Structure formats: structure tokens, C-alpha cells
Amino acid sequence: PDEGEKRACRLLLLKEPVLKDWGAQDSVPVHTTIIFEYDDGPHNCESIAVDTERGECILVSKSKSTPLDCGIYVVPLTLKAGITTATARRIGSLNIYNATAMDIAADNHRMVIISFRGASIVERTSGETWGDAIKREPVFTILPKRKGGESVCFGRNRDELLLNSEHVRQPLWSVTISASEAAP
């Protein structure tokens, strides 16, 4: 995150390591570095996810202001080894307070963005961009209270969210999104 909102940011892409001997490998080399700046100036951003179908990194800025204005940005995903530069292009806004984490489901058609208040779920249809999808009101669902709950990922399917905390000795939560909550 660029919490000071003063500098260019970097996305580091790593090849997934094969963990044959757990603990024997203490580092993984960076495969790709994407250096980027936002097209409308620096932002504090803790939320990033990858849409492998569209070849995009999606970022959501953290808004504490009123009216709420979390910017949604797209950075082209490159898997080419080495260093590349890009611009994070703003594709829209969401009315979310303090976005802290996000993920995109394996089918690349459901996005979840969490905050301290709960989860906002955005659905994307085939051929639709995330910029188009966020024009519809996201579906909001309440999440269990978690101390420092700033992590989320989809679980075994697009209806399961796995939640944790940035603090130690916190439980791993599995939350199922009901069909009514998941409908766009």
C-alpha cells in the first residue's frame, strides 16, 4: 500500500513455488515487477486482485472521506519477466468506507471488496468489464467481527469467503454467501 500517497507503486509477481521441503526455501525470486502510478494522483490502496480472464490487476483505493469515493483502477497484467511500467487507469468509483481487501473468484465473474463494515459483492457478466459491472449497486453482506480483519479470498467455490486478520492467533472464518446475497 502507498499509505503516504507519495510514490510510484510496484506489483511483484512471483512464480508459485513448489514446496517439497517446507521451510527449506526461504525466498522466491521476483519474476515480474510492474511499476505504476495512478492516472489521477497517489492513493492509499490495500485492495488488489487479478482477473486472469481479462489480464488485469484491479485495485480499489481506501476512502475515509465523505462522500465515500473508493476509486477502482485497472493495471494491465503482464507475465513477461523483468520490469515494466504502467498507469493505473480509473474505471469508476464505489461507495465503500475503508476498503481493506478484495478478491476475484476463480471464474473471474465475482469480486468481493471488504471493509470494517462488511463485504460488497460485484458480479460481472461474460464480455462485460469491471467498469461496467460496478455501475450496478454492489450487494452488501455483513461479515463476522474480526479484530483487524483485513484479508479475504474466495474458498472452494464462488459462494465461500475465507476471512482472517492481520493480528496473530485469529481464527480463519468460512462464510457462505446466500443466493439472495449473491444475486446482482
The number of CA neighbours under 13 Å toward the Cβ of 151 is: 15
Burial-class residue 124 by CB neighbours within 10 Å (0-12, 13-18, 19+).
buried
148-158 confidence digits (pLDDT tens) = 888 999 999 99
> Which cell numbers hold the place of 72?
477502482
- Say what the pLDDT of residue 178 is: 66
Between CA 42 and CA 49, with CA 43 as vertex, the angle to 5 degrees is 120
> Which cell numbers hold the place of 59?
485495485
Burial-class residue 160 by CB neighbours within 10 Å (0-12, 13-18, 19+).
middle
- Say what the pLDDT of residue 184 is: 41
> Which cell numbers hold the place of 42?
497517489
153 forms beta bridges with: 162
Tell me the pLDDT of the chain (184 aa) as tens digits: 445 545 679 999 998 877 666 666 667 889 999 999 999 988 889 999 999 999 999 999 987 665 567 899 999 999 999 999 999 999 999 888 889 999 999 999 999 999 888 899 999 999 999 999 999 999 999 888 887 888 999 999 999 999 988 888 888 899 998 644 444 4
Between CA 146 and CA 153, with CA 152 as vertex, the angle to 5 degrees is 145
- Say what the pLDDT of residue 166 is: 83
- Say what the pLDDT of residue 135 is: 93
